[in-house]
Chains A and B, each alone.
Chain A
Amino acid sequence: MKFDTPATTNPIDQLKVVGKATDRIDGPLKTTGTAPYAYERHDVVPNQAYGYIVGAAIARGRIVLMDLAAAKAAPGVLAIVTAENAGRLGKGKFNTAPLLGGPEIQHYHQAVGVVVAETFEQARAAAQLVRVEYARVKGAFDLESAKETAGPAKQLAGGGTSDSKVGDFDAAFTAAPVQFDATYTTAYESHSMMEPHATIAAWEGDQLTIWTSNQMIAWAAGDMAQTLGISREKVRVISPFIGGGFGGKLFLRADALMAALGARAAGRPVKVALQRALMPNNTTHRAATIQRIRLGATKEGKLTAIAHESWSGDQPDGKPETAAMQTRSLYAGADRMTAHRLAVLDLPEANAMRAPGEAPGMAALEIAMDEMAEKLGLDPVEFRILNDTQVVPDNPAKPDSSDPQSKKPEQTKRVAQPPFSKRQFVECLRLGAKRFGWEKRHSKPGGVRDGRWLVGIGMAAAFRDNLLTKSAARVRLDGRGTVTVETDMTDIGTGSYTIIAQTAAEMMGVPLEQVVVRLGDSTFPESCGSGGQWGGNNSTAGVYAACMKLREAIAQKAKFNVGDAVFADGQVRVGDRRMSLAEVAGEQGMVAEDFIEYGDLDKQYHQSTFGAHFVEVGVDLYTGVTRVRRMLAVCACGRILNPKTARSQVIGAMTMGVGAALMEELAVDKRIGFFVNHDLATYEVPVHADIPHQEVIFLDETDPISSPMKAKGVAELGICGVAAAVANAIYNATGVRVRNYPMTLDKLLDGLPEIA
């Protein structure tokens, strides 16, 4: 089905099932420990051996010598695979650095081998007997000092141009009565999802099956084939449950490749889980950024000049963090520019983490807006409202969302300033301010005390683009009236199982219990997968398309005019004539498959999601420790398919935003070139005690331009702006303006009031 005109009334609008706060259908499995994750599939193949990965001990250089004798002789060892005996390997389309290093080493903890043994204990012990001699070479590990060498990026994730320009920023900035210029930094962050990357690999002749933990089944299958140099048809990827990803499991990673290589070498199935301590350096992370923001405004607070430049680093052939992207479309202002600069660093591979671009970009921009509001003597909420725009002032090139890594030729027919499909930004700001009690805010910082706590409130805008991408599904109807959906879509905690079931139930007129959803298998039709907050809208739209086709087939078989047929209560009917779906399907059952694909509606209209974050913090007068006391998010992001799971996505994102604001930072040892704090004790992510009760409000909204579901992305909007709202609250509490994330106490101490 091609979606190229705005949606009109369709079966989803009945909202009998869709749009209702619904418990997750996979809830009973997940809460009883019976949902099977990748490493746990004892059931799928017998005789599984254990693989243990050896990580490189240097950041850059070569392996001079590998001595495997002791490891090979260790009890239980079945095989050892290194670059020397792995055979020729390619590199996946989505990988920047090779997954198996040797002799060249591209980054610290890059896999240099896998040891396969009968038991986990044996594999681990033998892996520790592998001796590797390295020759190090000098590397670049410091973004600040590499900044000068950074150039425009050849490629942006999602396509688009590195730089943009409207009017004459320099002149407008110089002429602006009120000017603001500041530089911010955001930290290297680790996805740190709770389930480590894990895979069981089994070969049957030349056919490979992997049970793995991956957000993008098709990418994983394609890159596995490409890396091994086999045909894509020879690779089956199965990933029905994923213990979190956040972008860290978008790609084929070393666990999967090394399991496949290990299984081939050992001649039996092999399971590999990446050790937690390898994850930050072995896999991808969110790049750190340096961002300079300049704002020029009239005395009344109208922005006239906006510049946002961002520097980040990555491995050679990597891509920059697109931190200035949102600045092209969030606020009005006639003269403007954005630029992304990429430095080559020899740190591990940078890549997407929840809301790549916007999460760090909004973290900086929204402090700048707070600072500018103060400079202008304006309320931060009013200042943002004053600079609202209903068209995109600096039209960014459209990302090709199904493949954010690919280069896309420039649009030929680009609308200069396209309108937004829907933009209820101001409504979010106003409602949030009202609900949070914004009017009680002391505009002068440091004015509120609660015992030993300096209390402040802050806010920030939330903004993230909505991405459209092709997504397919297959729907079966059987002789008992059960509807089964199959798609290679994944559920990484997003609630895909549930919203897909709701969609199919709504479309086919059956109760939710009559729907079975099967996900995460490369033998199923190719979906959009989970990433970039595109999963919910696009995967359900694909299911919508397949259901439409099934409805037609049913109507035809039952000899109804499909236009008149009503699907409800497990029946199809026109007027008085009715047939149960079970009956229509018969013994044989029926099946339909289709996909959603998009025309150019997203070129005619810019599609984004909007929101506002409000945060109250307490800062300990003595120690500078910050604790979040209240949080509210107001979101306008299309139709909410399941308010329960959507809310969870937002609170989870808010939580990760608090982490970015207050504690998360992969610390770089700039001599050696690695992230030093590479475990969950030293890389701190928020725990229960860090997070207060969180409130989320969704504006009642449908966006008929986005898809037949009229829904948009939710899961990443929730993180965009949170860190800045926390930072602004800290400023409001203390009067100390910190421009470097995370805002740990050491950065506040010098500015806190003297104490006796």
Chain B
Amino acid sequence: MKAFTFERANSPAEAAAAAVRNPGSRFIAGGTNLLDLMKLEIETPSHLIDVNGLALDKIEATAEGGLRIGALVRNTDLAADERVRRDYGVLARALVAGATGQLRNMATTAGNLLQRTRCPYFYDTNQPCNKRAPGSGCGAIGGFSRQHAIVGVSEACIATHPSDMAVAMRVLDAVVETIRPDGSTRSIPIAEFHRLPGDEPHIDHLLTPGELITAVTLPKPAGGKQIYLKVRDRASFAFALISVAAIIFPDGTGRVALGGVAHKPWRVEEAESEMPRGAKALTARLLAGAKPTPENAFKLKLVERALASVLAEAKGA
């Protein structure tokens, strides 16, 4: 870990301003992803801005009937919130399917969205990785790629986004709210927030330097049956091989997003019209143009069967 200086920020605006004042700085929230990567010198900030003192740990009702989740709300507290459990079940389910009790007590809403891939070549600094060292190549392509993406991949990178929470946020049409160093704020729909790898896999998302997430807002409850299905080898404490976040209405229509298949939570709105026709049709549209590796081609079938499971569950099976 490279040496760094440390400061505690007292307000969001101050934090964002501090970030541009100190080139090479980073916000630290739960630290569960950033510190891990700093130890390996995959992340090498020279200055850390501790945002844990910011008053961004509330969950409030919005005028539109939705919820505004502070950036620092811990995963545990978000999952435990009565309104989330009642009205946004898919989010509560996704949260508790992620990591462990200890990690969820630390992990924040913003940090969870911004966590980086768990690709093992990204983690091993001896190996080529375009995401970690742009232009160095991709170790996973042609290597051990069982966990990797099957859709939206590029020649440069086949990594997945590891978050469970983000998949639920995607199906809920969440919006990410930020403040920038100049004091301006913006709202970024979750659909646009994460990027596909393309030629620049080192860029995960749309945030600009110093831009601080202040909150994530959820629109008013969608209703429907909300399901999060996470498939993994061991029963707990494992990242998803694939996951399905779904909201399904009594008439069989609904929304669905996938985790573990792409560089971002994967949702294809146009495919959702296939939902009433069943898993096969839905999968065909959702994963159209998929380019799996020989090691992760099983995910195609797995997604289809997982969707079948979710559709059956929604029907009350």
Contacts and interface: CB of A to CB of B under 8 A. Distances in A.
Interface of A: 57-58, 75, 121, 124-125, 128, 277, 452, 620, 622-625, 627, 662-663, 667-669, 671-672, 676-679, 681-682, 684-690, 742, 744-746, 749-750, 752, 755-756
B231 A687 contact: no
A71 to B, nearest CB: 13
Interface in B129-177: 139, 142-144, 146-147
Contacts of A124: 1, 39
B237 A687 contact: yes
A188 B232 CA distance: 20
A632 to B, nearest CB: 20
B308 A756 contact: yes
Contacts of B121: 676
Interface string B100-127: 0000000000000000001011011011
A717 B188 CA distance: 58
Given A677-B120, A749-B298, A662 B142 contact: no
Contacts of B278: 756
Given A667-B144, A745-B233, A756-B312, 7 more contacts: A124-B1, A128-B2, A623-B306, A662-B234, A671-B142, A672-B143, A687-B237
A261 B285 CA distance: 61
A121 B41 CA distance: 12
A669 B127 CA distance: 11
Give the residue among A662, A676, A745 with the most B Cβ atoms within 10 A. A676
B186 interface: no
23 contacts: A121-B1, A125-B2, A128-B2, A128-B41, A620-B309, A622-B305, A623-B229, A623-B302, A623-B309, A624-B302, A627-B235, A668-B144, A669-B144, A671-B142, A672-B127, A672-B139, A676-B143, A685-B234, A687-B234, A749-B302, A752-B305, A755-B309, A756-B278
Contacts of A620: 309
Contacts of B40: 277
A676 B39 contact: no
B10 interface: no
A682 B118 contact: yes
A475 B254 CA distance: 75
A690 B235 contact: yes
A750 B234 CA distance: 20
Given A662-B234, A663-B233, A623 B298 contact: no
B284 interface: no
Interface in B272-304: 278-279, 298, 301-302
B239 A662 contact: no
Contacts of B232: 625
A212 B279 CA distance: 56
B236 interface: yes
A452 B309 contact: yes
Interface in B1-59: 1-3, 39-41
A732 B62 CA distance: 53
B238 interface: yes
Give chain B's interface secondary structure class: loop
Contacts, number: 106
Contacts of B298: 745-746, 749
Contact of A745 (B231, B308, B312): B231
Given A121-B1, A125-B3, A687-B235, A749 B144 contact: no
Nearest to A622: B309
Contacts of B2: 125, 128
Contacts of A686: 234
Given A667-B144, A676-B120, A681 B308 contact: no
Nearest to A680: B237
A745 B302 contact: yes
A450 to B, nearest CB: 14
Contacts of A682: 118, 120, 147
A625 B231 contact: yes
B302 to A, nearest CB: 6
Contacts of A690: 234-236
B238 A684 contact: yes
Interface string B213-248: 000000000000000010111111111010000000
Query: What are the nearest 4 A-B pairs in CB distance?
Result: A622-B309, A689-B235, A57-B126, A746-B298
A623 B305 contact: yes
A704 to B, nearest CB: 43
A623 B231 contact: yes
A750 B301 contact: yes
A682 B121 CA distance: 11
Contacts of A681: 118, 238-239
A505 to B, nearest CB: 40
B174 to A, nearest CB: 26
Nearest to B278: A756
A568 B124 CA distance: 61
Contacts of A687: 234-237
Interface string B182-223: 000000000000000000000000000000000000000000
B54 to A, nearest CB: 27
Nearest to B238: A684
Contacts of A750: 301
Nearest to A690: B235
Contacts of B144: 667-669, 676-677
Contacts of B306: 622-623
Nearest to B40: A277
Nearest to B3: A125
Give the residue among A58, A125, A627 with the most B Cβ atoms within 10 A. A125
Contacts of A684: 233-234, 238
A126 to B, nearest CB: 11
Nearest to A658: B234
B301 A749 contact: yes
Contacts of A277: 40, 123-124
Contacts of B235: 627, 687, 689-690
B292 to A, nearest CB: 11
A755 B301 CA distance: 11
Contacts of B312: 622, 755-756
A418 to B, nearest CB: 43
A284 B306 CA distance: 38
B309 A678 contact: no
A125 B236 CA distance: 33
A323 to B, nearest CB: 24
A81 B139 CA distance: 30
A125 B1 contact: yes
Give the residue among B121, B126, B147, B239 with the most A Cβ atoms within 10 A. B126
B309 to A, nearest CB: 4
A124 B41 CA distance: 10
A756 B277 CA distance: 10
Nearest to A74: B3
Contacts of A128: 1-2, 41
Contacts of B127: 672
A663 B234 contact: yes
B133 to A, nearest CB: 13
Contacts of A57: 126
Give the residue among A677, A742, A752 with the most B Cβ atoms within 10 A. A677
Contact of A671 (B118, B123, B126, B143): B143
Nearest to A749: B301
B1 A755 contact: no
A620 B308 CA distance: 12
B152 to A, nearest CB: 21
